Structure 1
Amino acid sequence: MNSEKLLAILRLQVTKNVGDILAKKLITTVGSVENVFKEKINTLHKINGIGTQTTQHLFDENNLKRAEEELNYIQQNNIAFSYFLNDDYPQHLKHCIDAPILIFKDGNLNLSNQKVISIVGTRNMSSYGRDFCNQLIENLKEYNPIIVSGFAYGVDICAHKAAIKNNLQTIAVLAHGLDEVYPKTHKKYIHEVNNNGGFITEFWHNEQPMRENFLKRNRIVAGLSKATVIIESAEKGGSLVTADIANSYNRDVFALSGRVTDIYSKGCNNLIKNNQAHILTSAEDIVKMLNWDLQQAAVPKQKELFVELKPTEQKIYDYLQQNGKQLLDDIAINCELPIYQLSSILIQLELKGIVNPLPGKMFEV
């Protein structure tokens, strides 16, 4: 990516009153991120959500100076990053409307694997939660998933360590810049996490771990994954926010149930009771819900079993097999098919016993 484009992204990212949703609207409307700062102000004002105050922030010289400083740091330190319109941007996250327009990365990340789950929960986990977390990840090892969490105390660091122990890739999503470490005591795990995955953040290199950053971080944790697992939570907590966000993204949520008298099981029990999460009793629950068992079994047989599929049918099947159950609209977008044509093809695939329709206009192989 050239310096002009990266500078424009950074300027947009730091502009007050311009969140990720509005930033994407601006980029889409004017054609590119560079054009945002070349477009006439009167033209920008015609875009819904852009007023005089916002354009003043857009062209604030202080923002330009800050963006130039961050650009220099990125280039001098060879910081890896992904722009939301580029192919190397995490695919699951790309489908989230409020995903960051730019993320920074460190480590040995390989995001081509579609089997990604987030595991979060209380910082005050019990031995019950710890034992379950360790056993869960060990039992998922054969499916080689990526384990995402937030590098915090308790469930987060337990999930990261269990992934490393089982030679699985793990991604730590930070609520601060890559130059910071929080909590400080987790500095000893940085090398291991980098060797077995790495770190992702939307925050600039010296951004401090402010309270509001943790809530922003949670949407990335949920967005990176096909499913979010909550292992122990009080009635209120950040992991419940992550569960709520995951539900808003139409992602599966699992919660470990516990005794009704346990403080740090109340949040999970409430999620299950209110149909906001599937009850989690073992790794098998995740494997079956996400169709990992069918995907593994189908890999060596795919060519033999589906030789009679038409090219478009094969495209839809391959997409569903790789991504699990999907909304009709998402299938249409990713397979580049109009809804009316897609619906007809899905019916044919259903008649062939290849695709199952699900409630809520969802489909799975």
Structure 2
Amino acid sequence: MVEEHNIYEVAITRLPGVGAQLTRLLVSYCGSPKAVFEAPLAKLQKVPGVGPKLLQSIKDNARTTLLQAEEWVKRAEELEVQLLFYTSPKFPDRLKQIPDAPTLLYFRGNANLNQRRIISMVGTRQITTYGQTVTERIVEELKPYNVTIVSGLAYGVDIVAHRAALQAGLPTVGVMASGPETVYPAVHRKYADRMLTQGGLLTENPFGTRPDAPRFPARNRIIAGMSDCTIVVEAAMKSGTLITADIAHSYDKEVMAVPGNITSPVSEGTNHLIKSLKAVAYTSVQDLVELLNWDLQDEAASRKSSKISFDPAEFNKDELKVLQVLQQTREEHMDNLSWKAQVPISLLASVLLGLEFKGVVKALPGKRFILL
């Protein structure tokens, strides 16, 4: 059954001249994508960034865009493609934190895109025997931690990581530069089909989109943005893999790189990342566990008491609000803490610092905080 709200969600992302940031502004001002299409032009004109030219474009293209969106929603239903607007609870929360996040994702599969632990693995298409061995070893080492493996379904490190995850029984998600109906390269379809029942396929591109070269850097930002850490296995000095690592670094995400043979061209990039302090060396899973504080998280989760009592006299009002949220979730991103605790982000940093000094909260990588 075609859902009306899906039609408006798809349509607003296809309006000419309306990018991701403006989409969020319009929805914020009007309340929903449907309300944007039904709003008087005078109201839309008050939205920052909406000038007379764009206003006319929205008016002229609204009907055509809605008709096209309706066809795409019907096709999504036929192909079992989930339409994940950024307000959907299934939309990856980690992606919401990045400034250039997409507003709509097309997803096929059964993976939880908000799983507790998500790791991206990327690398060269010209993978060596060493690179294949290391990639398979990393995935095997991650098995006890119930990790979702994210990669780009490409030749080389990507497909080895996906294949190893399937063999290890871990969910794995392929982020594509094409439309949701197109698997590229086609030779990987047999793995992609298996991933639909043990992970999934994800893209921001609508039906009919070809995997053209300019779309791959955009694809890479999703790979970097939806995970806790990006592990680079092998990479040449000039490669899309290093672009992905740079993107992850710019998002304040953790990056790890596998040290390689200094005579190997596909180890130049990883060795450079480590040398330039843009990545932490990966030599065993313990390096990752310590970097992301998984050991502390597991220790907190294994505590017998599900509730921790605090003496209200020891904390101020805002500190108690934050502690009440962390009592429920144990761990939260700073932005999520702000709205859940109703503490302004401008004040939250000092509140969290105070709680750290009192020994009840610890800062984790990526602006996340855990209750001790």
TM-score (structure 1 length as normaliser): 0.88
Aligned residue type for 2:117: K
Contact 1:182–1:209, Cα closer than 8 Å, also in 2: yes
The Cα shift of 1:351 comes to 4.1
Query: Which residue of 124, 127, 130 corresponds with 1:128?
Result: 130
The Cα shift of 1:202 comes to 1.5
Contact 2:292–2:364, Cα closer than 8 Å, also in 1: no
Query: Which residue of 350, 353, 359 corresponds with 2:359?
Result: 353
Q: Comparing 22-31 with 267-276, which one deviates more in the overlay?
A: 267-276
Contact 1:313–1:349, Cα closer than 8 Å, also in 2: no
* Counterpart in the other structure of 1:54: 54
Contact 1:357–1:363, Cα closer than 8 Å, also in 2: yes
* Counterpart in the other structure of 1:186: 188
1:67/1:304 CA distance change after superposition, 3 Å: closer
* Counterpart in the other structure of 2:35: 35
Aligned residue type for 2:106: F
Q: Hey, what's the Cα distance between the residues in 1 that align with 2:186 and 2:2?
A: 35
The Cα shift of 1:224 comes to 1.2
1:359/1:200 CA distance change after superposition, 3 Å: closer
* Counterpart in the other structure of 1:336: 342
Query: Which residue of 254, 263, 269 corresponds with 1:267?
Result: 269
Q: Comparing 271-280 with 289-298, which one deviates more in the overlay?
A: 271-280
Identity %: 36
Deviations 1:322-347 (A, max 9, x none): 35xx55x5532454323576456535
Aligned residue type for 2:359: G
Deviations 1:91-118 (A, max 9, x none): 2122223222221211222234210111
Contact 1:246–1:253, Cα closer than 8 Å, also in 2: yes
Contact 1:99–1:220, Cα closer than 8 Å, also in 2: yes
Contact 1:82–1:89, Cα closer than 8 Å, also in 2: yes
1:214 counterpart = 2:216:
yes
Which runs of no fewer than 5 residues in structure 2 stay unpaired?
313-319
Q: Comparing 314-323 with 77-86, which one deviates more in the overlay?
A: 314-323
The Cα shift of 1:131 comes to 1.1
The Cα shift of 1:243 comes to 1.7
The Cα shift of 1:44 comes to 2.6
Q: Hey, what's the Cα distance between the residues in 2 that align with 1:16 and 1:340?
A: 35
Deviations 1:34-56 (A, max 9, x none): 12222233443333322344334
* Counterpart in the other structure of 1:152: 154
* Counterpart in the other structure of 2:280: 278
* Counterpart in the other structure of 1:163: 165
1:16 counterpart = 2:16:
yes
1:195/1:41 CA distance change after superposition, 3 Å: same
1:236/1:307 CA distance change after superposition, 3 Å: same
Contact 1:319–1:335, Cα closer than 8 Å, also in 2: no
* Counterpart in the other structure of 1:230: 232
TM-score (structure 2 length as normaliser): 0.87
Q: Hey, what's the Cα distance between the residues in 2 that align with 1:205 and 1:304?
A: 46
